[in-house]
Structure 1
Amino acid sequence: LYPTHPYGTQSTIGTQEHLKNPSITNIKNYFHRYYVPNNTAICMAGDFDPDKVIAQIDKYFGSWKKSDNLSYPQYAPVKELTAPRDTTVIGQEAAFLMMGWNFPGAASAQVDTLNVIDNILSNGKAGLFDLNVNQKMKCQYAQSLVGGMNEYSQFMLYGQPMPGQTLKDVRDIMLAEIEKLKKGEFSNDLLPSVINNLKLGYNTSLESNEWRANEFVDAFINGEKWEDKVNYINRISKITKKDIMAFAQKHFGNNYAIVYKEEGVDNSQKKIDKPQITAIPSNRDLQSKFVTEIINSKVDPIQPRFVDFNKDLTKGTTKKGLPVLYVKNNTNDLFVLSMRYNFGKESNKWLSVAKDYLDYLGTNKMTAEQLKQEYYKLACDYNISVSNDEIYVSLSGLSENMAKAVALTDNFMQNAKVDKEAYNLWVESELKARQDNKKNQESNFRTLTAYGIYGDYNSRRNNPSSEELKSCNPQQLTDLIKSLNGYKHELLYYGPMELNQFTAAIDKCHKTPKTLNNVPEGKPYTKQLTQKNEILIAPYKAKNIYMTQYHNGGKQYDPKNAPLNAMFNEYFGGGMNTVVFQELREARGLAYSAWAGYYTPEKKNEPEYFCTNIISQNDKMMDCVRTFNS
């Protein structure tokens, strides 16, 4: 997309010559040119006293002198593409493609329309890609996304092939949905639903300090006027279906760039001579004036506020005796509701399969597509998550639609209609995903780590085999989901309703049998004791190595040690300013990533354990081990 602009011409960390000959003079000049107050914004959001904060900022930044010579590089406009521009890259990971169109920078009004189009195509529920491609499994996965930057933005498509499918097949499938966009071949309900869900997402995000601070940052980086930023929802609310069609017809032509990521060996890679690295002394016995000033400064101690489950949570029950944990939302009209079941994959390895298969089904009265559209119209999210020992059926969204969403979910889970063809396609896609994972270094490593920690019986191996998937009757899976309502479970609610209003609504819309069954017992995954040194290796042809050192002496959890454990991790290996990271990466240049920690178990009957994680070049592995052990 940007063959003549640094967005497209700069390699990630420079050329080999740059790496061989770093110039500290150029680095300092760059710093003094751009790291100046008239090129900087301090962005904050949270619970603070503005007057005190302004005084602090003035104290520490007030003497910072602006630059009178601040300037930015100027580049000729990128020429519009008039025909597809394609290239191919090769690597041993699974095949996929990305394609994109070029647009003006993030401050442009066109990006508003792109965000709406992105959600029309790919909103995770009822978009054209969601229903016409992913739901029908025409390819393994398709998605759209918007990348907004200061000078240019991109509208991108991402696709993965099914077995036997070419990347060009995937390209054509996605472009066919773009054509539907141009012709307006989508439900008239879709655009209003997109706008409502964008409003919902915006109001939900406002609860996050981090999100609000990042909005300031984005506006500053991209040159957006703040009034434009806060009026975003008002602007997109005025976009019509005709606007979308006209925009797509004008901008989404053969003016795209496309990259095909094929499987194979890249023989064009160039090796770089290993540089001599001189270790930097850590000087931990010395202390700078800056650190001394911080240590000697007087600060008001923060009084901790601990959660008191007897005061901060309100407990209740429904008429049928379902326990309720309740917290009032006094901020907005959004709700979060979870139905928690106290069992999971440790009890039945098919639960996660049933959950995934359910996503492709409808009922006798609603197709899978109609069901997803209905959730989207309600501006409510629905999800089933299965962990080792818990199942959550979760709903969230507009409080006014909670009862409808619960009733819809209950009806779906009780009346899901088996689709044998959809199951066969899902199995094909799942087996392809498993093969893709075998080509991924990190996935291989995580599986090896699970084997090392838990032994042969662990969460990554406790899955139905390929043959079991192929021979399974999918009716068993829908029966498994249907049975959930018959087990004891609890309701976790955060929303604007009063407790009695909530329980009354649940009594009406959440149908359960008069008598609920006890949850099935499971076989827990058990961390193995490390009684001797053992080395486990999974060969993978790569330029780097992932390594974990795991120690479990069987020491039981003691809450009295929690403060000491936390202090130790903060000092030794928990972040970038810790001993492990600074010694292995910063001082010696041995590792890309290095951290370590003494861990508290998730359950009180499990042992505490110690873990080291290092990612390094292959020939530096033993240096990493020796340095860490020292």
Structure 2
Amino acid sequence: MNLLKAWLACSLAASVQFSSAQVKPASHEWKEAASGGYTYRYVTNDPQQARFYTLKNGLTVILSVNKKEPRIQTLIGVRAGSNNDPKDHTGLAHYLEHLLFKGTDQYGSLDWAKEKLYIDQVDNLYDKYNVTTDLLARKAVYHEIDSVSGIAAKYAIANEYDKMMSNMGAQGTNAHTSVEETVYEEDIPSNAIDKYLAVQAERFRNPVFRLFHTELEAVYEEKNRGLDNDQNKLHEALMGGLFPTHNYGQQTTIGTVEHLKNPNIKAIRQFYNTYYVPNNMAIVMAGDFNPDYVIKTIDQDFSYQQSKPFPEYTAPAEAPITAPIVKEVVGPDAESVTIGFRLGGIREHKDNVLATVMSQILANGKAGLIDLNLNRQQKVLSANAGSGTFKDYGVMVLSGKAKNGQSLEEVKDLLLGQLDLLKNGQFDETLLKAIVNNFKLSEIQGLQSNGNRAYDLMDDFIKSKGDLYADDVAFVDDMSKVTKQAVVDYANKYFGNNYVLVYKRKGEDKNIVKVEKPTITPVSVNRDDHSPFLDKIAAIPATPVQPLWLNFDKDIQKSKVGPAQVLYVQNKDNGLFRLYYRFNMGTWSDRKLSLAASYLQYLGTDKYSSEEISKQFYNIACSFNITAGTENVTIGITGLQENFDKAVSLFDELMTNCKVNEQALAALKGRIAKSRADAKLNKKAITSALLQYGIYGAKNPFNYQLSTADINNTTAHELVDILHKLPTYQHMVIYYGPRKLDAVTADVARLHKMPATFTPVLPAVKFDKTSQTQQQVLFANYDMVQAEVNWIRNTTTYNPDETAKLLLFNNYFGAGMESIVFQTIRESKALAYSTYAQYASPDKKDDRYTEVAYVGSQADKMDDAIHGMNELLDSMPLVTKNLEMSKNAIRQDIETERITEDGIIFSYLSAEKLGLHTDLRKKVYGQIASITMQDLQQLHDTQLAHQPYTYCILASDKKVSMDALKKYGAVKVLTLEELFGY
């Protein structure tokens, strides 16, 4: 649940606030209006048409209506995060976030009066534990905590909050804590407004911190996961250097190990009472609803909250940085360099606009200085830049990775060299207009998403309580007023030697102190029980939402362009288009397709250089990409329909006439070698390779790679020949945009060169899933605190008639916080922060299902975690109430799901791959109600229980004994070469 704000991405998206895409900047002023008996504020010419209400108790409510689908993104935010943690109890705000899922005196308990007696004892014992320093004495107190907590848990109903939300059709149940905020997240059906608000009003009325010691262990696990993440270390070092006195740099969101070991429940309660007050909170909703009804209901449900003063975090004035501050962090992942500059806070609007424009001149992904001079010319492995703004300060970051034979110091000099070019005005002034046009394009795209709307509005509340929303709406218009000289002056004034430089080196981090495993007796979760409050919520009436099924024959229009089939859906919402050329072959047919696709971005033609092509696409707010998948190569061209001809013809010019660039290929080969070496250092990449090995065996899709010799022996002429020939192979044309079908086919025929008849596609290699006939352990070594275990079992061939049953089984057994697996492994036994089990469906009709179960735990708890999951895989607990809730959740998901835009076409193609010709959801919807617990148990018992599994384990061989692993099956220690194929 912890969402650390990565500096590069933390506010880059939030900086792109919605504004009117007009030629002449519109005015953006605060106005007041009334509707439904309530007064609200709004900003003129706001595309979100957001309403800002302040209720009598000070609660802020921000509403944005979007009728695209019958769902609502909801956020409840508190302007308190790790900045507000007491110095002697860091991590407290994050603790509290976890505990707000545990219920109140009305739900989450079988008998609150009896439970309270033991919870009070636990509170007092933690007070004692907090001040006890003798190790033996601490163990004795903790043993007592464990004992009393076990008694208290007999009255607790674990995950009742999650059950209620799932039962009403909510998705994305979660929360996050950061430096300035704690935000609680739900995506609900439009007909669940009354249920949702009733639950949330109760949730914040009198939260009970039950099941504290098992949830504390989940936070320990989360801390240990962070210790295994080199990017977390880099982030903390950078922020610590930029903010030597401000809590941005001095207090991490998850807290210190020492403070995690000494929690204080009463301090957490005090934090809640202090900051969780209506005048410091906001409810944000974006989606399909009647705002007059919603504001009235919120006012009624939350009227019990009373406004009261609270202490604001007083930001210290950081002393200027007068010389570079150099830091180093070490870890097993690839090396990198990061340069950070401290900027002004959210209220320095003009500077924020300039900083955003400046960061885009440096790097916009296509035509920035770093994009063209470093990435396009392959002078580094990769490089980027971005800016972000918090409440009190902002950050500008430049980052890069080194090629083979290149030092991080050289990368640093190259990055600063691009900054010097900007400071000297050595950039094309037309880039300023292109930046604005591309931001406007992003706004149009962002308005389609309830999530984008809600998070932008919440970001504004957290940083300014909504006071600066007019500036946010005007942001892009203000960007359009920025001159080249203003950017140059700003850069020279604020960007000198006043930076923090962090080198991420490869090596063993000997300073890691992990949170040790405490002794925890598994507690009751009472999964068979529920409170009267749950029944009360379930009984609240909800107007049924009728599902909408796809009719592939009606929803998709078909035509031909030469020999190519055209699949078409019209965009009736805006002026954006998406055009795809989809080839029925990929890297399983020719592994060099991926290399050719990568090579294309560095090529030019007789008419245009590679850099000129990038600039032209960026200037018309369009883009292209070529993706070489395993079974399909897909070329995508997107942007404004008014620039369709320019974009499509420009890409065809590149594809048809690209010419050999020997220097670019030599550099690309070197960078690929470095990227491959870096992948072998990356925990996620190794885990992916390990899973594919478990599913398919030694020959698998992950390691089906070109060898180093294959890459080195590939010539530039060979790759250019592949690119020139690609359009001659069989492919289809997919279009989503505002043009009529006949006009589109005529345009494509005119702009896209095709042969009279297609060349047949190349045959593809086939990969067969293995059959687990005996227990096996596949082990890969990695320097890490935790151990990650995946269970793999391939079962029967795909059968569409089983889809409803499998969907229900996953929801009930292993997916989500209300599932049996999560309740047992995390809530009852405190064995992991993250755990799940998924009976995964194949994407082809002749393929097989795969059961994948996962536990990520501390290495010293791995045996317990494996035993806990094995028990569930062998014997599934049967809880009728949970099953009915799972059915209800699935039905509501289907009722409110709207497959739109080009998603209709890609759904059709996915169905075709499975041998289907209709929308399978209709059949699933009709079958769900009749599936019984016996059906699920039969599936579990025949396919999963007491069957052999392949255990895929990633851990440090210093923390996990190979001999100990042998009890789970024959152990095979895999080398990175075996996993990666090179």
Any gaps of 5 or more consecutive residues in structure 1? none
Distance, in Å, in 2 between the alignment partners of 1:531 and 1:107 is 64
Q: Which amino acid aligns with 1:270?
A: V
What displacement does 1:558 show?
A: 2.4
Q: Select the residue among 533, 536, 543 that pairs with 2:778.
A: 536
Matched, 1:245 2:492: no
Superposed displacement of residue 362, structure 1: 1.1
Cα 1:568/1:108, change in 2 over 3 Å = farther
- Output the CA distance in 2 between the equivalents of 1:135 and 1:126: 9
How many angstroms apart in 2 are the aligned matches of 1:242 and 1:170? Answer: 28
Of 276, 280, 297, 2:523 maps to 280
Question: Residue in 1 aligned with 2:293?
Answer: 52
Aligned equivalent of 1:118: 359
Cα distance change, pair 463–77 in 1 and its aligned pair in 2 (3 A): same
The residue number in structure 2 matching 1:80 is: 320
Is the CA contact 1:351–1:386 (under 8 Å) kept in the aligned structure 2? yes
| More relative contact order, 1 or 2 (CA 8 Å, 6+ apart) | 2
| SS of residue paired to 2:848 | coil
Q: Distance in 2 between matches of 1:14 and 1:209?
A: 32
Give 1:457 deviation, angstroms.
2.5
Tell me the distance in 2 between the aligned counterparts of 1:141 and 1:321. 40
Question: Percent identical across equivalent pairs?
Answer: 37
Judged with a 3 Å threshold, the aligned counterparts in structure 2 of structure 1 residues 204 and 20 are, in CA distance, closer, same or farther, namely same
| Paired AA for residue 338 in structure 2 | M
Moved more, 572-581 or 377-386: 572-581
233 and 152 in structure 1: CA distance in 2 versus 1, 3 angstrom threshold? same
**Distance (Å, rounded) in 1 between the aligned partners of 2:818 and 2:387:** 34
Contact 1:336-1:395 at 8 Å conserved across structures: yes
Hey, what does 2:595 align to over in structure 1?
Answer: 353
- Of 420, 430, 450, 2:672 maps to 430
Residue 536 of structure 1: SS of its match in structure 2?
strand
Match of 1:3 in 2: 244
Pick one of 361, 371, 375 that aligns with 2:613: 371
Amino acid at match of 2:384: Q
Whole-angstrom CA distance in 2 between matches of 1:108 and 1:525: 57
Measured after TM superposition, the shift of residue 271 of structure 1 is 5.0
Shift of 1:85: 1.1
Asked if the contact 1:20/1:275 (under 8 Å) is kept, the reply is no
Is contact 1:350-1:463 (8 Å) kept? no
Give the 3 Å change call, closer, same or farther, for CA 284–59 of structure 1 in structure 2.
farther
Name the structure 2 match of 1:472: 714
Q: Is the 8 A contact 2:514 2:785 kept in 1?
A: no
Aligned twin of 1:419: 661
Distance in 2 (CA, whole Å) between partners of 1:160 and 1:594 is 33
Give the letter aligned to residue 687 of structure 2.
F
Structure 1 segment 123-134 matched on structure 2, within 5 A: 123-134=364-375
1:4 and 1:190 mapped to 2: Cα distance? 38
Q: What's 1:294 paired with?
A: 537
Mapped to 2, the partners of 1:185 and 1:339 lie a distance apart of 37
Aligned to 2:73: none
Match in the other structure for 1:617 = 858
Q: Deviations over 1:10-66 (max 9, x none)?
A: 134222221111111111111121122111111111122223323432343232222
Q: Which moved more, 1:161-170 or 1:105-114?
A: 105-114
CA shift for structure 1 position 611: 0.9
2:735 counterpart (493, 499, 524): 493
The SS at the match of 1:227 is helix
Structure 1 residue matching 2:673: 3-state secondary structure: helix
**Which one of the candidate residues 548, 558, 569 is aligned to 2:799?**
558
Give the counterpart of 2:412 among 171, 193, 196: 171
Tell whether the 8 Å contact from 1:545 to 1:615 is kept in structure 2 after alignment. yes
3-state secondary structure, aligned to 2:510 = coil
Of the structure 1 ranges 571-580 and 233-242, higher mean CA displacement relative to structure 2 is found in: 571-580
Aligned residue in 1 for 2:74: none
Tell me what 2:762 maps to: 520
C-alpha distance in 1, partners of 2:625/2:488? 32
Which deviates more, 23-32 or 44-53?
A: 44-53
- For residues 482-507 of structure 1, the C-alpha deviation after alignment (integer angstroms, 9 at most, x for no partner) is 11110121111111111111111111
Indicate the residue corresponding to 2:701 in structure 1: 459
Check whether the contact 2:570–2:740 (CA below 8 A) recurs between aligned residues: yes
Q: In the TM superposition, what whole-angstrom CA distance separates every residue of 1:212-262 from its partner, at most 9, and x where no partner exists?
A: 111111110111522112111111111111111111111111111111111
Q: How does 1:291-440 map to 2 (within 5 A)?
A: 291-318=534-561, 320-440=562-682
Q: CA deviation at 1:197?
A: 0.9
Task: Summarize the Cα distance change of 1:271–1:487 in structure 2 as closer, same or farther, 3 Å threshold.
Answer: closer
Q: What is the aligned-residue RMSD (CA, Å)? A: 1.5
8 Å contact from structure 1 (residues 81, 255) kept in 2: yes
* Contact persistence 2:563–2:756 (CA under 8 A): no
Displacement after TM superposition at 1:561 (Å)? 2.3
In 1, Cα distance between equivalents of 2:608 and 2:524: 68
Shift of 1:184: 0.9
- For the 8 Å contact 1:96–1:261, the answer to whether it is kept is yes
Residue 264 of structure 1 is matched in structure 2 by 507
Matches within 5 A, 1:16-95: 16-66=257-307, 68-95=308-335
SS at match of 1:117: helix
- Cα gap change, 1:321 to 1:271, in 2 (>3 Å): closer
The whole-number CA distance in structure 1 between the counterparts of 2:385 and 2:440 is: 19
Distance (Å, rounded) in 1 between the aligned partners of 2:297 and 2:847: 46
Q: Confirm or deny: 8 A CA contact 2:387 2:395 kept in the other structure.
A: yes
CA distance in 2, matches of 1:529, 1:111: 57
Aligned position for 1:582: 823
Which one is further off, 27-36 or 335-344? 27-36
Distance 1:561 1:58, change over 3 A: farther
Work out the CA distance in 1 between the residues paired with 2:701 and 2:430.
41
Q: How far apart, in 2, do the equivalents of 1:218 and 1:16 lie? A: 29
Aligned residues: 627
Match of 1:97 among 337, 347, 352: 337
The Cα shift of 1:308 comes to: 1.3
Q: Which amino acid aligns with 2:290?
A: D
Deviation at 1:580, TM superposition (A): 1.4
Q: Establish whether residue 549 from structure 1 lines up as the match of residue 815 from structure 2.
A: no
Per mean C-alpha deviation after superposition, the further-off stretch among 176-185 and 472-481 is 472-481
Conserved? CA contact 1:572–1:580, under 8 Å: yes
* Conserved 8 A contact 1:102-1:152: yes
Distance 1:199 1:565 in 2: 43
Greater shift, 379-388 or 607-616, is seen at 607-616
Q: TM-score, normalised by structure 1?
A: 0.97
Which range is displaced more, 561-570 or 424-433? 561-570
Q: Distance in 1 between matches of 2:301 and 2:720?
A: 62
The match for 2:442 is 201
What is the CA distance between 1:600 and its match in structure 2?
1.6
Say whether the 8 Å CA contact 1:404–1:509 is kept in structure 2: no
Q: Confirm or deny: 8 A CA contact 1:193 1:379 kept in the other structure.
A: yes
Structure 2 distance, partners of 1:376, 1:443, is: 32
1:225 paired to 2:462? no
Once the 2 structures are TM-superposed, how far is the Cα of residue 273 of structure 1 from its aligned partner?
4.0
Residue 334 of structure 1: how far off its partner (Å): 0.8
User: Does the residue aligned with 1:445 lie in a helix, a strand or coil?
Assistant: helix
Q: Does 1:507 align with 2:756?
A: no
Counterpart code for 2:336: F
**1:556 CA displacement:** 2.3
Q: After alignment, is 332-341 or 273-282 more displaced?
A: 273-282
Equivalent in the alignment of 2:203: none
Distance 2:834 2:311 in 1: 35
- Aligned partner of 1:605 in structure 2 is 846
Q: Secondary structure in 2 aligned to 1:173?
A: helix
Which moves more between the two structures, 175-184 or 596-605? 596-605
Decide which moves more: 381-390 or 447-456: 447-456
Q: Which moved more, 1:419-428 or 1:573-582?
A: 573-582
2: CA distance between counterparts of 1:396 and 1:106? 33
Contact kept? 2:577, 2:736, Cα under 8 Å: yes
Equivalent residue, structure 2, for 1:137: 378
